[in-house]
Structure 1
Amino acid sequence: MLDHVTLRTSDLEGTRAFLENLLDVKPGYRPGFAFPGYWLYADGEPVVHLIPGEGVRNDPRGETIDHVGFRLEGYDAYRRKIEALAIPYSTMDLPELGERRLFVRSPTGILLELVFRERAAATRSNDNA
């Protein structure tokens, strides 16, 4: 089970506001580290940590994290929200998995994958386990 993800960003405040608006996460308790940052909470858990970065793009040929995925509910509502926020996005439907996905980028270019599982497919996959 993934505990959290830490994102480095050259725009700490902008990325925080973007994630709050998009994912409904909220800043919460963070230990008194010697550097600035935020812990963003969902359902009482600090799932995204934000820390300052230098704004240097990762070399896609090197070792790096390509994107971060969040499992959410309410595909249509999230799609309307993204459109209302005027955030560019792309979609991917994977009917064999019973999943629909929305892809967005943070203000500094971090790729976020929003994954929505249809209930019938989730039940089928649990039955096969």
Structure 2
Amino acid sequence: MLDHVTLRTHDLEGTRAFLEALLPLRPGARPDFPFPGYWLYAGDEPVVHLIPGGPGPVDRRGEAIDHVAFRLTGYEAFRQKLEGLGIAYSRMDLPELGERRLFVRTPAGILLELVFRDGAAPPQP
């Protein structure tokens, strides 16, 4: 089980605001580290940690985490939310898995994958 993901960003405030507007995440308690940052909670769990990073572009050629995925519900409503917020996205449907996916980027360029099953069971092996 994945405990949390830590994202480095040169825009802590913008990334925090973006994630709060996009996902059901809220800032919460964080230890008194000697550097700024946020812990964003899904319910009672701090699942996304934000810490300062450099202003350079996201480089997907080297060794790095490529993207972070979140499982959500309500595909159509969420797609409409993205359009209402003016957030660009791309789509991928995987009927063999019973899934639909949306891809967005944070203001700093981190790729997020939003996975929806919406009650569709994946095919049996």
TM-score by length of 2: 0.94
Report if aligned partners of 2:75, 2:116 keep a CA contact under 8 Å in 1: yes
Report if aligned partners of 2:100, 2:116 keep a CA contact under 8 Å in 1: yes
- The aligned length equals 125
Please report how far the alpha carbon of residue 46 of structure 1 lies from its aligned counterpart in structure 2 after TM superposition. 0.4
Task: Read off the aligned partner of 2:121 and give its amino acid letter.
Answer: A
Aligned partner of 1:69 in structure 2 is: 69
Aligned partner of 1:43 in structure 2 is: 43
Give SS of 2:120's match.
Answer: helix
Report if aligned partners of 2:99, 2:120 keep a CA contact under 8 Å in 1: no
Report if aligned partners of 1:58, 1:64 keep a CA contact under 8 Å in 2: no
Distance 1:28 1:95 in 2: 37
Distance 1:62 1:29 in 2: 33
1:23-34 equivalent positions in 2, closer than 5 A: 23-34=23-34
1:15 aligns with 2:15: yes
1:53-68 equivalent positions in 2, closer than 5 A: 53-68=53-68
Report if aligned partners of 1:9, 1:55 keep a CA contact under 8 Å in 2: yes
Structure 1, unaligned stretches of length 5 or more?
none
Structure richer in helix, relative to its length: 1
Task: Read off the aligned partner of 1:102 and give its amino acid letter.
Answer: L
Task: Read off the aligned partner of 2:62 and give its amino acid letter.
Answer: G
TM-score by length of 1: 0.91
Report if aligned partners of 2:91, 2:101 keep a CA contact under 8 Å in 1: yes
RMSD of aligned residue pairs (Cα, Å): 1.3
Aligned partner of 1:96 in structure 2 is: 96
Q: Aligned residues: percent identity?
A: 72
Task: Read off the aligned partner of 2:104 and give its amino acid letter.
Answer: V
Please report how far the alpha carbon of residue 58 of structure 1 lies from its aligned counterpart in structure 2 after TM superposition. 4.3
Runs of 4+, deviation exceeding 4 Å: none
Report if aligned partners of 1:9, 1:52 keep a CA contact under 8 Å in 2: yes
1:58–1:88 CA distance, 2 compared to 1 (3 A)? closer
